[in-house]
Amino acid sequence: MFKDLSPNIKSSITRSITQTFEQYMSDIEWSEERFSVDDYFANWREYITTRALWYNTIPDSMKRDPKFHEDLANRINEIIERILSEPPSEEQIATIQIMQEELGTHYEYECKAEALYVENLLKNHMQNNR
């Protein structure tokens, strides 16, 4: 069913998944121990029903179809896997290393999205220390 959607709707869904996952992970400070699938899906559900413009364009009959939910779950898994497997850029690594040396911190990060979170965290620490 997911494949039957327009390219624009599929793109919007992908952006929604990416945004909600990265925001959720930021909210829990990228802590694996704090990660909860149920909490993430609660955030996802709240986002799509209150802020995602694409949600209202999908017919209610499709939203009720178990196949659509299965396809959507598969898409969510694919996107999360892609986010978690994308390595940080060399620029991110260098920037984070410089800031960590200056601040005397040692934050670890595994993927590009987590590196962005760490980079922003360190920039905030640096601004607060000035």
Residues 55-90 as b/e (b if ≥16 CB within 10 A, e otherwise) read: beebeeeeeeeeebeebbeeebeebbeebeeeebee
In terms of Cβ atoms closer than 10 Å to its own Cβ (0-12, 13-18, 19+), residue 114 is buried
Tens-of-pLDDT digits for all 130 residues of the chain?
Answer: 778 899 999 999 999 999 999 999 999 999 999 999 999 999 999 999 999 999 999 999 999 999 999 999 999 999 999 999 999 999 999 999 999 999 999 999 999 999 999 999 999 998 887 6
Q: Do the beta carbons of residue 16 and residue 54 sit within 8 Å?
A: yes
Other residues' Cβ atoms within 10 Å of the Cβ of residue 127? 8
